[in-house]
Structure 1
């Protein structure tokens, strides 16, 4: 199961339906789109825009991963390596092919411009990609320790939130100030990480509170064997096979990775959807914890009532015995 979960998405990853923009006159845009379709059939989902500014706006808003701009005559390829290094590399290959085609027609070489570059200390984005598993493990570890060492739902929830805040501050400091893998505001990055850890740990705590050890196992499987391999942090969700990329973005690891990219490199643009996903998981965990608490109180009330009835019945029997 571990081999399948981690190897299958990597082996089957490919460029398919990746959203990019093509800027320029309608005739030139159709020509470029046709050329892309021949080079990588089904690889790109193109959005036609009129000029460079519109293409750049889509990239900064994280609606597309890059753009091919033919609006000024001389073509150029605009990439955003911070959004996905793998897709940026693919667009490099597209630029090379366009340059070769231009050379045959005595045209100018195609320029490449990185609109959202990765930090100079981590130009491959290795720190962000490697940080995906530790974030999942942090949430899982918090839930495991709290269920074993802490009694009471309120205490466990408080512990999970404290763990998430501390972990967010520490992880963001390591990635941003030591490894140099993140840009942006430290507090925004630490908040994104803390929300990811909290959503993971509280959802697992809720499952454990409701189902016991079975719930803990289900939560671990969902986050480790499904959420982490399908997060798309090391490549992009659109590169994962079939529906798996979409599924991964509905789980805390994938949503957390996308939110951290948004806060670190795009000033928060594109972070609304992953934030909503994480908040839903966090709220679900809280609701499950609350449901478990209410169920336990109801059971305790029923037990106390039965005990009281039994005590009263016993007293009545003793009184009747004395009278007789």
Structure 2
């Protein structure tokens, strides 16, 4: 006869497992099980110190310190450049008979503080050409038959320099018991006032260029992730630069008739200025991130604007600002616009090369920095 399987023992085992599960559920529902101490919960810190720590993180504190340094640099740069404009080696052409020419040049170059840098030329026509081609800021024409000399200036190149040259000439002539007649052979347009439109136009172009590059970086992270995104942004910046150049030329030309008659020339210059500022900003921000934005502000605003020659031309600035002005986009751009509108494009080649170097160099820096960061993020790259 067959026998039944030992079911009771199996049921006993299942029943024991079931009781263990029930016990675990009870402990889970009703609280921690006996013998296992509860994990203590750390109360969140309260009070002013905790709130201050949450409100001002270490990163925010660093950014505040950076902003303070930029602010102080801005104040120091502008006051250092403008607090005491002093003439230094203003280029002056001297047209005089051969027997007195060397004496006049030596007298001008021997003035205390070196306010002028005199150079003899053949005649009055040569002196005039030097002023109109920006080789000289003023020209002194000596009257060998009388006591009334002539000073030629071009206030469109910077009214403050023309006024300073006039004051120096009047002082010297008074000491020699002679008289001086001042002739402005190239003054600013009627809508240009004191000849500051060139500076303000370039200032707007430069600010628009680096702000647009910064906004594009902030919209999708301040460090472009790859070369493709960087190339796309550069393409957008080229289009923006063209539109900005057109708009700026329209405002100062047909809009206000301040720099009229040079619409397409100003459009091309504006496109180059905006692209120089934007590409440089993109390159520095791609390489250094947020620090790159600070470097852009330092170059273009803190150092570039006061040294540009817009308010005081280089001969009236301290040596540091006079030396760096034409090496930065604001100064180079102001020179190109001013000399294109008023002096038939003379003495602009160096400034154009500077702007082109910033545009091309900034683009290459942006692509190179993006490639470097992309290679760092590639798996397997040390």
CA shift, 1:213, in A, is 1.5
Residue 218 of structure 1 aligns with which residue? 295
Query: TM-score w.r.t. structure 1 length?
Result: 0.84
Residue 153 of structure 2 aligns with which residue? 79
**CA–CA separation in structure 2 for the residues paired with 1:290 and 1:23:** 53
Residue 173 of structure 1 aligns with which residue? 250
**CA–CA separation in structure 1 for the residues paired with 2:303 and 2:315:** 16
Residue 309 of structure 1 aligns with which residue? none
What 5-or-longer segments of structure 2 have no aligned partner? 1-71
Residue 272 of structure 2 aligns with which residue? 195
CA shift, 1:195, in A, is 1.2
Residue 321 of structure 1 aligns with which residue? none
**CA–CA separation in structure 1 for the residues paired with 2:89 and 2:194:** 23
**3-state SS of paired residue (1:62):** coil
Q: Which moved more, 1:219-228 or 1:33-42?
A: 33-42
**CA–CA separation in structure 2 for the residues paired with 1:99 and 1:230:** 32
**3-state SS of paired residue (1:20):** strand
CA shift, 1:53, in A, is 1.6
**3-state SS of paired residue (1:172):** helix
Is 1:205 aligned with 2:282?
yes
Matched residue count = 300
CA shift, 1:277, in A, is 0.6
Residue from 79, 82, 87 that aligns with 1:10: 82
**CA–CA separation in structure 2 for the residues paired with 1:272 and 1:183:** 22
Conserved 8 A contact 1:61-1:266: yes
CA shift, 1:294, in A, is 2.3
**CA–CA separation in structure 2 for the residues paired with 1:242 and 1:158:** 38
Could you say what the CA RMSD is over the residues aligned between the two structures, in angstroms?
A: 2.4
Is 1:234 aligned with 2:311?
yes
Deviations 1:170-213 (A, max 9, x none): 12222233333325521112222221111011101011112212
**CA–CA separation in structure 1 for the residues paired with 2:168 and 2:320:** 25
Residue from 219, 234, 246 that aligns with 1:157: 234
Residue 250 of structure 1 aligns with which residue? 327
Residue from 145, 148, 155 that aligns with 2:215: 145
Deviations 1:224-248 (A, max 9, x none): 1111121121221121101321212
**3-state SS of paired residue (1:249):** helix
Conserved 8 A contact 1:52-1:71: no
Q: Which moved more, 1:271-280 or 1:52-61?
A: 52-61
The correspondence of residues 1-324 of structure 1 with structure 2, limited to 5 A, is 1=72, 2-37=74-109, 41-70=113-142, 73=145, 75-97=149-171, 100=174, 104=177, 109-149=179-219, 152-299=229-376, 302-303=378-379
Conserved 8 A contact 1:184-1:265: no
Q: Cα–Cα, structure 1 residues 155 and 71, in superposed 2: closer, same or farther, change >3 Å? A: farther
Q: Which moved more, 1:156-165 or 1:141-150?
A: 141-150
Q: Cα–Cα, structure 1 residues 72 and 190, in superposed 2: closer, same or farther, change >3 Å? A: farther
**CA–CA separation in structure 1 for the residues paired with 2:144 and 2:212:** 54
Q: Cα–Cα, structure 1 residues 94 and 187, in superposed 2: closer, same or farther, change >3 Å? A: same
**CA–CA separation in structure 2 for the residues paired with 1:46 and 1:283:** 38
Q: Cα–Cα, structure 1 residues 248 and 12, in superposed 2: closer, same or farther, change >3 Å? A: same
Conserved 8 A contact 1:20-1:46: yes
